[in-house]
Amino acid sequence: MDNDTSEFLLWEFSKIREIQVMHIALLLTLFLMTVTGNLVIISAVVSDHHLHTPMYFFLMNLAMQDIGSVSVFLPKTIFNSLMNIRTISHSECITQVLLFVFFLGSDIPLLTVMAYDRYIAICSPLQYEMIMNRKACIKMMGSVWTASLLNASLHTIVTFITPFCSNVINQFFCEIPYLLKMACSDLYVTEIGVLIFSAILAFGCFAFVILTYVHIFSAILRIPSAQGREKAFSTCLPHLIVFSIFTFTGCFGYLKPVADSPSYFDFIITILYSIIPPVLNPLIYGMRNKDIKTSLSRLFGQKLLLLKENKLCVLLFLYFNRKVKKQT
């Protein structure tokens, strides 16, 4: 099959309908958890001016990145399983690769920027407002999204200029290692080189984050109050854990040799770096955060109050309307 193929065949999780239903339920649950949790964080940050700070600005961008990354492939996967089909068009496959690498590739630099933000806040608190000003934060995020788009475009172009000898992708969505497995020529070596270069950059970011956290933890241990140390650790440790899981599973998933036949081990590895971090991020950064909780309680409290006021207005209107009718 050449590069102009009209459609590909994705991996079928199981031929047994009951197992397919379990697969649909699992992915749908993870998708709804991710979208709901991250939308809650975005709403809290946008609606509360107290959260218009660099830390929550980066957190809002992370939430948008999480929603984008799972929305690229999970709805299509769930739809295919629900309709019991395996096909994806050539254009849809290109779009999936471009957007998935774009959102996935933005995660590492974004988490790196968030680590730098925590480093400045804890190690140089007096200079924090000067260093992490509004203009600097916008420039950082602009650099992250621009670099991610260029990286995604490069990977997509190099992957799809390669002619394919098969249309069977041994994965539940279009992913670069499994597309390269179908390559007919040596052109795929270029993309492998690009992947290795990207992995080196990812480990470079990981090394920077580790070095940053060495300084952060050293500063935390010098905090005199136990409550202050506990608060600082609770802020930094979850970030480091999620970043480590994402980096190692993602690099392992993209650099390990692809098997000739699909396996549930590959499925689990893909879930670990593509779905689990977006699910965990709202729980780690949002639901455990006191400021987010306060903002949400204030937001939903205002909505409940508005709802009660509207309900009271409706009841009063109905009461006086009935009274007027009786008089006439």
Q: pLDDT at residue 250 above 70?
A: yes
Average model confidence (pLDDT) for the chain?
81
Record the tokens describing residue 7, joined without a space: 């459609």
**Alpha-helical runs (H) found in 222-262:** 226-255
Q: Residue 3: pLDDT band by 50, 70, 90 thresholds?
A: very low
Which residues have C-beta within 8 Å of that of residue 298, sequence separation ≥ 6?
48
Do 168 and 121 form a contact (C-beta atoms < 8 A)?
A: no
Q: pLDDT at residue 16 above 60?
A: yes
Q: pLDDT at residue 274 above 80?
A: yes
Encode pLDDT of 112-128 as tens digits: 998 899 889 888 888 99
Mean pLDDT of 22-47: 90
- 158: number of Cβ within 10 Å: 19
d(CA 283, CA 169): 33
Torsion angles phi and psi, residue 87, rounded to 5: -85, 150
Torsion angles phi and psi, residue 89, rounded to 5: -70, 160
Where do the domains of the chain lie?
7-288
* C-alpha triplet 32, 36, 37: angle, nearest 5°: 115
Mean pLDDT of 130-157: 92
What length does the chain have? 328
Choices 3.90.1170.50, 1.20.1070.10, 1.10.3720.10, 1.20.58.390: CATH for 7-288: 1.20.1070.10
- Window from 7-21, 34-48, 275-289 with minimum mean pLDDT: 275-289
Q: Residue 301: pLDDT band by 50, 70, 90 thresholds?
A: low
Of the chain, the percentage scoring pLDDT greater than 70 comes to 84
Q: Residue 57: pLDDT band by 50, 70, 90 thresholds?
A: very high
Instruction: Report the pLDDT value the prediction gives residue 303, as an integer from 0 to 100.
Output: 52
Do 69 and 103 form a contact (C-beta atoms < 8 A)?
A: yes
pTM: 0.82
d(CA 92, CA 102): 15
Encode pLDDT of 178-229 as tens digits: 888 888 877 677 777 888 888 888 888 888 988 888 888 888 777 777 766 6
d(CA 156, CA 94): 7
Instruction: Report the pLDDT value the prediction gives residue 72, as an integer from 0 to 100.
Output: 94
CA dist 95 to 26, 175, 206, Å?
Answer: 24, 11, 28
Do 137 and 58 form a contact (C-beta atoms < 8 A)?
A: yes
